[in-house]
Chains A and B, each alone.
Chain A
Amino acid sequence: MQISGAQMVIEALIAEGVDTVFGYPGGAIMNIYDEIYKQDGFKHILTRHEQAAVHAAEGYAKVSGKVGVAMITSGPGFTNAVTGLADAYMDSIPLVVISGQVPMSLIGTDAFQEIDAVGISRSCTKHNYLVTDASELARILKEAFYIASSGRPGPVHIDIPKDVTAQIADFDYAKPIALETYKPTIKGNARQIKKAVDTIVKAKRPLFYLGGGIINSNASEEVRRFVSMTGIPAVETFMARGTLRYDDALLISMLGMHGSYAANMAMSETDLVIALGARFDDRVTGKLSEFAKNADIIHVDIDPASISKLVNAHYPIVGDVKGVVIAMMDAIADKVEPTRYEPWLETIANFEKLHPLSYLEEEGVIKPQWVIERIGELLGDKANISTDVGQHQMWTAQFYPFTRARQFISSGGLGTMGFGFPAAMGVKRADMDRVSINITGDGSILMNIQELMTAVENKLPVINVILNNQYLGMVRQWQTLFYDKRHSSTDLSAGQPNFTMLVESFGGVGYEVTTKAEFDAALKDAIEKNVVALINVSVARLENVMPMVPSGGSLFNMMLASKEK
Chain B
Amino acid sequence: MADARRVISVIVINEASVLSRVTDLFSGRGYNIESLTVAPVPDSKYSRLTIVTSGSIRVSEQIVKQLHKLIPVLKVYEHADLVEKEMALVKFPANASLSDISALSAAYNGGIVNVGEETIIVMIADEPKRVSNFLNLIKRYHPKETVRSGSVALER
Residues of A within 8 A of B (CB): 118-119, 122-123, 126-127, 130, 132, 147, 179-182, 303-305, 308-309
Contact status A181-B21, CB under 8 Å: no
Closest to B63 in A: A305
Say whether A305 contacts B71, CB under 8 Å.
no
Choose the segment among B12-20, B94-102, B108-116 that binds chain A (4+ C-beta atoms closer than 8 Å): B12-20
* Contact yes or no, A181 B17, CB < 8 A: no
Which residue in A123, A181, A303, A304 is a CB contact (below 8 Å) of B74? A181
Name the residue among B13, B65, B66, B68 with the largest chain A CB count within 10 angstroms: B65
- 14 residue pairs of the A-B complex, CB under 8 angstroms, read A122-B24, A123-B24, A130-B17, A132-B16, A147-B71, A179-B71, A180-B74, A181-B12, A181-B73, A304-B65, A304-B68, A304-B69, A305-B68, A308-B61
- Cβ-closest 8 pairs across A and B: A305-B65, A127-B71, A181-B74, A182-B71, A123-B28, A304-B65, A305-B66, A122-B24
Contact A122 B21 (CB under 8 A): yes
Closest Cβ of chain B to A81, distance in Å, is: 19
CB distance from A313 to the nearest CB of B (A): 12
Interface positions of B from 39 to 75, Cβ below 8 Å from A: 58, 61-62, 65-66, 68-69, 71-74
Which of A122, A123, A303, A308 has a CB less than 8 Å from the CB of B69? A303
Find residues 67-99 in chain B having any chain A CB closer than 8 Å to their own CB: 68-69, 71-74
Interface centre among A126, A304, A305 (most CB of B within 10 A): A305
Instruction: Identify which of B16, B58, B72 contacts A181 (C-beta below 8 A).
Output: B72
Beyond A130-B17, A305-B65, 11 extra complex contacts between A and B, CB < 8 Å: A118-B17, A126-B71, A130-B16, A181-B13, A182-B71, A303-B69, A304-B65, A305-B62, A305-B68, A309-B62, A309-B65
Within 8 A of A (CB), among B14-37: 16-17, 20-21, 24, 28
List, in ascending order, chain A residues with CB within 8 A of B17's CB. Answer: 118, 122, 130
Shortest Cβ distance from B56 into chain A, in angstroms?
13
Of B66, B71, B73, B74, most A-chain CB atoms within 10 Å:
B71
> Using Cβ atoms and an 8 Å threshold, which residues of chain A touch B12?
181
| A130 / chain B contacts, CB cutoff of 8 Å | 16-17
Best-buried of A119, A122, A126, A130 by chain B (most CB within 10 Å)? A122
A305 to B65, CA, bound (A): 5
Q: Does B20 contact A119, Cβ atoms closer than 8 Å?
A: yes
Give Cα distance in the complex from A118 to B71, angstroms.
15
Q: How far is the CB of B44 from chain A (nearest CB, A)?
A: 11
- Chain A residues in 8 Å Cβ range of B73: 181
**Which residues of chain A are near B28, meaning CB under 8 Å?**
123
User: Of B20, B61, B62, B66, which contacts A122 at CB under 8 A?
Assistant: B20
Enumerate chain A residues within 8 angstroms of B20, measured Cβ to Cβ: 119, 122
A305 CA to B62 CA in the complex, in Å?
6
- Bound complex: CA A15 to CA B56 (Å): 47
Closest A residue to B46 using CB positions? A181
The docked-state distance in angstroms from the alpha carbon of A199 to that of B34 is 43
The answer for the CA separation of A130 and B16 in the assembled complex, in Å, is 9
Given A119-B20, A130-B16, also A181-B65 (CB < 8 A): no
A residues in contact with B16, CB < 8 Å: 130, 132
Give min CB distance, B83 to chain A, whole Å: 26
For the complex formed, measure the closest distance between the CB of A245 and the CB atoms of chain B, giving whole angstroms.
34
**A279 to B: closest C-beta gap in Å:** 13
Instruction: Name the residue on A nearest B65 (C-beta).
Output: A305
Nearest to A143 among chain B residues (CB) is: B71
Output the residue of A180, A181, A303 with the most chain B CB within 10 A.
A181
- B62 contacts A181, C-beta separation under 8 Å: no
User: What residues of chain B lie closer than 8 Å to A181, measured between beta carbons?
Assistant: 12-13, 71-74
Residues on the A chain within 8 Å of B66, using CB? 305
- The distance in angstroms between the C-alpha atoms of A178 and B70, with both chains bound, is 16
A119: chain B residues within 8 A (beta carbon): 20
CA distance A126 to B61 in the complex (A): 20
A127–B17 alpha-carbon span in the complex (Å):
11
Distance, CA A305 to CA B73, complexed state (A): 14
CB neighbours (8 Å) of B24 from chain A are 122-123
Q: How far is the CA of A123 from the CA of B28 in the complex (A)?
A: 8
- The CA of A180 and the CA of B17, in the complex, are separated in Å by 18
Query: Chain A residue with minimal CB distance to B69?
Result: A305
Q: Smallest CB-CB separation from A127: which chain B residue? A: B71
Residue of A nearest to B62 (CB): A309
What is the minimal beta-carbon distance from B151 to any residue of chain A, in angstroms? Answer: 24
Q: Whole-angstrom distance from the CB of B36 to the nearest CB of chain A?
A: 17
A309 to B16: give the CA distance in the assembly, Å: 30
Chain B residue nearest to A304 in the complex (CB)? B65
Complex CA distance for A181 and B20, rounded to whole angstroms: 17
> CA A305 – CA B67 in complex, angstroms?
9
Q: How far is the CA of A147 from the CA of B61 in the complex (A)?
A: 24
> Which chain B positions have C-beta within 8 A of A132?
16
User: How many Å from the CB of A561 to the closest CB on chain B?
Assistant: 37
Which residues of the partner chain A approach B69 to less than 8 Å between Cβ atoms?
Answer: 303-305
Would you give the shortest CB distance from A501 to chain B, in whole angstroms? 45
Residue of B nearest to A152 (CB): B69
Q: B71: which A residues are within 8 A, CB to CB?
A: 126-127, 147, 179, 181-182
Measured CB to CB, the nearest residue on chain A to B16 is A130
Contacts of B13 in A (CB 8 A): 181
